[in-house]
A and B are shown apart, each in its own frame.
Chain A
Amino acid sequence: MSRDLFIRAFTLVFLGVIASGPFMLEAYYKELVMHMMVLGIFAMSLDLLIGFTGLVSFGHAAFFGLAGYLLAIVTPESEPISIFISLPFCLGGAALVALVIGWFSVRTSGIYFIMITLAFAQMLFYYFNENQELGGSDGIFIFNKPLVGWGDTQLLDLSNPNSLYYLIFFSLIVSYLVLRMILNAPFGKVIKGIKANEHRTQALGYNTRRYKLVAFVIAGTLAGFAGYLEAVTTGIVSPGHLHWHHSGEVMMLVILGGMGTLFGPVLGAFTLELLRDNFQDMTEHWHLFQGIFIILVVLLLPNGIASLANLFGRKKAAPQESMAVEKQSGEETPS
């Protein structure tokens, strides 16, 4: 079986299994899968930065949590608000904050970029953590799920778990396709160029800082979308959504799954959540096993879980990409 065929078959089975979820799964597992899909979107958005642009953001959870809080702020206690109002509002908010944070952050690079994104995320974390009107460290409830429709017409009832499940499933697929589209567009080629060699890309006449900023805003907005879906599903937002542990966790999903692949992070999200769910039942010391698992993957599977697909043959590199690929693999060979 060739690599491409394997990936295609795997994707079909994977999507088929998820799509059949509402018919096969108990309520608890349905919720688990919804959570996995949301994390998958979140992780893909970070992959755009880490895996494709070469920007390691350690504050990505800020946008996830921010959009959730915006939903909590905009939703009245007594009646639902239309998703056509709340979604653009929350995504717009996340995008705006990403623009501000990104404007400052893309001026730095390397570990300084890691730290400055962390610093901004921590500022937002403490803002929400200490804001008593928004529930402080306990977080805040969202009393009504958004209304899909206008006024009295309702297209989809989100309080029905199955509708919500399919909405998230649909969102996951759309997010993937949109990111694919962005990456295949000229814009995507430029950001990949920035990752491979920023100076050369600059020398070709591209304003790399502006490209990095746009990538940062796109990723932040998509992270906000994931946070919005999470808030809709659970009906509560807490400062923990913005905590650096959360940023670290999603970074872990991306790297474990396989960065620079888009489907890798989704795979990472599903694998880790499944493991978590299984181990949590068996032992209260789940983190011990999680830690051991992470270390083993780093040592044994340096390119992430998605690289298991390479067992079915190597990726065929496109001619213009092959040099970058060679350079990369050359660097990673331990001497």
Chain B
Amino acid sequence: MDLTTFLIQALNGVQYGFLLFLVASGLTLIFGIMGIINLAHGAFYMLGAYITYWLIGYTGNLAIAIILGLIIMVVVGYAIERLAISFLYNRDHLHQVLLTYGMILILNELQKIFWGTDFYSVPVPDILKGGIELTETQSYPIYRLFISLVCMIVAAGLYLLISKTKLGMMIRAGATNREMTQALGIDVNQIFAIVFSLGAALAAFSGMVGSPVSSVFPGMGDSILIISFVVVVIGGIGSVKGAFVGAMIIGLADTFGTVLLPEFASVVVYAVMAMILLWRPQGLFGKA
């Protein structure tokens, strides 16, 4: 593998890692703060991609489609939290797993009813078409760099939101000690609803910006869900920093695994996870 190929693959790995991070950060926040194992998180990713495809048909503009789509997804996330998830806070994790599993079935089926089982592609916006030439034969698509950039901005925004704002303070407090936060007069239920819809929007956003590269297809949520869980567990549940590191590890392991060990590509990710968990059973940044 020469240096250029290495660079291209590294960039691909980082870009994939960023997309994973957006999905996984929502997942880890929802688990860490609300104590909910949300299997339907992958379905939000899928919905994001499909909504983008659908809105682009009307607006013809990716940016507008994404903004409108995000508004839809925040509303959807909020509604799901209020109508179903909020009944499960005092229940066993297994019930949450089961309920959100039922939700996957419903959302996947609705997707089939509305959009069928075909694969769709979303066009790359004109300004972001083309690539940066690295050598005479190899170039790197601008859109992929754009994805990394946008995700980096979102990640930075998320960091600022959580570490610098009042809302972020309440979120962190709720994650550390739910009862105490409630006792201080903070409406934890309202925070839960906000975190859940924020997480849904993050996952959907990942599906939206990723859609021009990955295409839009049924079942896309299922595969990202499992990988995101791997990321969350590697990083340590509830830790956004861990989700970031985990996403980068998995993004790079998957990309380089595909190049170096094509027959075992899909196994590599899970082998990495098993090794990390054996070394640190609570994940890299998890509390023991």
Contacts and interface: CB of A to CB of B under 8 A. Distances in A.
Interface of A: 50, 56, 104, 107-109, 111-112, 115-116, 118-120, 122-123, 126-127, 129-130, 244-245, 248, 251-252, 255-256, 259, 285, 287-288, 290-295, 298-299, 302, 332-335
A119 B95 contact: no
26 contacts: A111-B233, A111-B237, A112-B283, A115-B273, A120-B274, A122-B226, A123-B267, A127-B267, A129-B266, A244-B226, A255-B97, A256-B98, A287-B109, A288-B109, A288-B113, A290-B105, A291-B102, A291-B109, A294-B102, A295-B84, A295-B102, A295-B106, A298-B88, A302-B91, A334-B87, A334-B90
Nearest to A116: B277
Interface centre among B84, B94, B278 (most CB of A within 10 A): B94
B98 A252 contact: yes
A74 to B, nearest CB: 24
A232 B41 CA distance: 37
Contacts of B95: 255, 298, 302
Given A285-B112, A332-B92, A122 B277 contact: no
A333 B84 CA distance: 17
Contact of A291 (B31, B106, B277): B106
A206 B247 CA distance: 39
B143 to A, nearest CB: 29
Contacts of B226: 118, 122, 244
B130 interface: no
Given A56-B93, A122-B226, A288-B109, 4 more contacts: A115-B230, A119-B274, A126-B270, A298-B98
B263 to A, nearest CB: 6
A290 B102 CA distance: 7
Contact of B101 (A115, A127, A252, A333): A252
Contacts of A120: 270, 274
Contacts of A288: 105-106, 109-110, 113
B45 interface: no
A293 to B, nearest CB: 8
A256 B104 CA distance: 16
B120 to A, nearest CB: 20
B220 interface: no
Contacts of B278: 104, 107
Given A111-B93, A111-B237, A302-B91, A130 B102 contact: no
B9 interface: no
Contacts of B110: 288
Contact of B94 (A255, A290, A299): A255
Nearest to A101: B274
Contacts of B90: 332-335
Contacts of B273: 115-116, 119
A118 to B, nearest CB: 7
A265 to B, nearest CB: 13
B271 interface: yes
A291 B106 CA distance: 5
B125 interface: no
B37 interface: yes
A298 B98 CA distance: 7
Given A107-B278, A107-B281, A255-B94, A285 B109 contact: yes
Nearest to A254: B94
Nearest to A132: B263
Contacts of A299: 84, 87, 99
B287 to A, nearest CB: 12
A245 B102 CA distance: 12
B113 to A, nearest CB: 6
A56 B94 contact: yes
A12 to B, nearest CB: 30
Interface in B67-103: 84, 87-88, 90-95, 97-99, 101-103
Contacts of B271: 123
B215 interface: no
Contacts of B282: 112
Contacts of A107: 278, 281
Nearest to A130: B263
Contacts of A108: 277, 281
A272 B87 CA distance: 24
Contacts of B18: none
Nearest to B37: A111
B98 A294 contact: yes
B121 interface: no
B222 A251 contact: no
A244 B101 CA distance: 12
Pick from B84, B87, B270 the residue with the most CB of A within 10 Å. Answer: B270
Nearest to B222: A245
Contacts of A119: 230, 270, 273-274, 277
B99 A287 contact: no
B270 A123 contact: yes
Interface string B219-242: 000100010011001000100000
A248 to B, nearest CB: 6
Contacts of B87: 299, 334
B258 interface: no
A318 B174 CA distance: 40
